[in-house]
Amino acid sequence: METPLLSDWIVIGAGITGLRAALTLAKTAEVALITKEEASESNTHYAQGGIAVAMGGAEDVELHAQDTIHAGDGLVFERAAHLLVEEGPARIAELLAWGTNFDREGDGLGSLMRTREGAHSLPRILHANGDATGKEIGRALLQCAQHESHIHLYERLTTRDLVVRDGRVVGVHALDAAGKPLLFVARGVLLASGGAGQVYSDTTNPLVATGDGIAMAYRAGAEVSDMEFYQFHPTALSVPGAPRFLLSEALRGEGAVLRNHRGERFMERYHPMAELAPRDVVARAIMHEGVGERPGEALPVYLDMRHVTGKDLHARFPGISSCLHSYGLDLARDLIPVRPAAHYLMGGVRTDLFGRTTLPGLYAAGEVACTGVHGANRLASNSLLEGLVFGARAAETMLKEGSHGEAPIAAEKATAAVEEISLPAPEASRVSALRERLRSLMWLHAGLLRDHLGLSALESELHNMRHELPPATTRENAELCNLHTVAELIVASALARRESRGAHARTDFPQHDPGCAKHSRMVRGQIDFIDFY
């Protein structure tokens, strides 16, 4: 029997969303903040380009909203988009007050520097330390959280499943680094656990991004939405043996162009905004240019900044420059080989605009959630802003709803431990092999380009794989089970959407279907299409 750890609220994830939410919750409540690695290890930490925000008044805000809606390819929930951009400036003001050091003009004491990225109508991207924006925001928020006595940080814990009693989420089962089971009990749970990029073999996401929050919520009975829309970042480093290191969209915002194996600049043929077109357009253009005439032949595609003068590229992009240097490459001197990689999930646990899911006691915000704010394709650098805005909104809702609810859930109400499956644990090598097989199959059949034949074959493979899944008694086993759940959700949603829209491209249904301009919804194995709230 697990000894329960009691708190007022549980927040799963210590990226920008979880930290921002915890700071609000801690004003009047005790918060258990759970993270799978050290608190600094999250997708937030790896966000390079910056954070989009309109700080120039009402006209600027409306332009930001329209850019967000346009990038989302007909599926953006417009109320969510307007909330995002309208509340963004206040959230940035908070970050500045909390000591976030955004880059400034001149000697560092001038106005905030802004750059432009794909599908933005004007420069509105704030950045920090050149290309380490997420890391700097995370540093400032974590420093604030560490000075807050009501926030109790639990690092290196793997969450396994939500605890549901009488139809309400009241806690979470977890494992510590040694595999010891832990039970957390509270008024409710906020999922701020990020995305699931590790479901694909090629991804810019860190190893922790295994879709844990989405999988746990779905198994508990929550609705998920828009899982077919996975954004593939166009420009990840493509060097044999190297990880798919993100080469920020800000490079193209500062003048980088894309060239094919013949040295031709090609993006003008695909979109009037050329290299600054929406990400889904650029990613598919790179893939098309990289396909040779012979079956299986892959041709190189390059990012080129050699013509950009008058800027110190190493100072502007220190992190990227350092990474490239380790592979003998230089932004100012070389063509940089690139290819798309899985980057961001537009779908997730379906919520309203206050972070409420369809399960009482369960809230979600950030990449793990789906408010409809990104539609079928996220606008560049809106993700960090989403974490701030909707993390704060969810926390405020939790405090409001918790203040007139029952007292902190009695421990005995939730102490019934999940029965352990009494099966022999498989060897780690077999678990690892299953994980890599799943990721490779997802990249092949549910990646940038999809069709019925490939998706159906993958659906059968995933069904058969269920019988090979291990009990979730270790971190590696739990992650594999969660990746499998996420993969099934993506594939089922992709099969159901018989059109191409945003990040979802079906070669057998290459056009928009006006009748499909709705959001997919899945719950307990059933899928349908709905308008959002």
Residue with tokens 């431990």: 417
Residue with tokens 């005439």: 293
- Report d(CA 18, CA 411) in Å as an integer: 24
| Rounded (5°) CA angle 357-140-320 | 95
In degrees and rounded to multiples of 5, residue 480 shows phi and psi of: -60, -45
- Report d(CA 335, CA 469) in Å as an integer: 43
By 3-state DSSP, what share of the chain in percent is helix, strand and coil, each rounded to 5?
Answer: 35, 20, 45
Please say whether the beta carbons of 360 and 350 come within 8 A.
Answer: no
| DSSP one-letter string for 457-515 | HHHHHHHHHGGGPPPS-SHHHHHHHHHHHHHHHHHHHHHH--S-BTTB-BTTB-S--GG
In degrees and rounded to multiples of 5, residue 146 shows phi and psi of: -70, -20
Q: Is 300 exposed, middle or buried (0-12, 13-18, 19+ CB in 10 A)?
A: middle
- Report d(CA 435, CA 439) in Å as an integer: 6
> Which residues, in sequence order, are CB contacts of 46 under 8 Å at separation 6+?
134, 135, 204, 205, 206, 246
- Report d(CA 270, CA 38) in Å as an integer: 42
Catalytic annotation present for 498: no
Catalytic residue among 91, 279, 497, 521: 279
Please report, as a single letter, which amino acid is at residue 444: L
Please say whether the beta carbons of 469 and 481 come within 8 A.
Answer: yes
Please report, as a single letter, which amino acid is at residue 240: P
Token couple for 429: 């090598």
| DSSP one-letter string for 193-256 | ----GGGSSSBSS-TT-S-HHHHHHHHHT--EE-TT-EEEEEEEE--TTS---B--THHHHTT-
Token couple for 21: 């939410």
Count CB neighbours of 13 within 10 A.
34
Say which DSSP state 291 is in. Answer: B
Beta bridge partners of 6: 185
| Catalytic positions | 279
